Amino acid sequence: MPGLGTLANVLAIISGGIIGVLFGKKIPQRVQETIQTGNAVAVLFIGIGGTLQHMLVLKNGTFATAGTMMMIFSMAIGGVIGEWLNIDRRMKQFGVWLKEKTGNAKDSQFVDGFVVSSLTVCIGAMAIVGSIQDGIHGDHSVLFAKAILDMIIVMVFATTKGKGCIFSAIPVGILQGSVTLLARLISPYITDAAMSNLSYVGSILIFCVGLNLLFDRKIRVANMLPALIVAAVWR
């Protein structure tokens, strides 16, 4: 059944978010702050690890860097496109709309929780590769694995950022569902090199999410999302 992997992923995110919200209400503020810091550090290292996996290559017994021009141009061009489209503002506007429509107008963390969780669980090669395998071969294994990871991530986020994290299931469903439906059309263009580049740049964006969480910076990560497309089509 094509789409089953995305459905499982969406349900896992919702479940993890609900569990996180329920537990978060029972956790003292100082403990929530420690969880928030630990989660930020974890996200940073996920980003660092993924980046170094693609950036460093072993040549003649020494490490060398690879793909730096692709990374620089992808981030620069993607950032310009993202700022022009102002994806960050549109995501926040959608978060505000969700907050009002779901009766959470008084929740000051709703939008932040929605945006941060959405960026974390949507960015990455697993979402694209898994959705294509789901759409063409009915192979749900990658998305099932991603569902477990996302459930844990969203559960931890929700303990400190609340109900908004639950609704990160919406962009995941839209993104992965669309790729699954279009899998046969786009699969010829999703080469190993494209996936490697996408994972490379995606890990950098995840690192930026971690910076925002840890240092309360205002990097508009959503406005850098077009960098993923630039990286995927880079030759």
pLDDT tens digits along 224-235: 999 999 998 887
Among candidates 197, 173, 183, which has minimal Cα distance to 121?
173
Reported as a pLDDT band with limits 50, 70 and 90, residue 77 is very high
The band of 26, judged by pLDDT with boundaries at 50, 70 and 90, is confident
The amino acid that residue 3 corresponds to is: G
pTM (predicted TM-score): 0.86
Number of neighbouring beta carbons within 10 Å of residue 91: 21
| C-beta atoms surrounding 112 within 10 Å | 18
Angstrom distance (rounded) from CA 216 to CA 70: 28
Which runs of consecutive H residues, i.e. helices, occur in the chain?
4-24, 29-55, 68-85, 87-101, 110-122, 125-137, 141-161, 169-181, 183-186, 192-215, 226-233
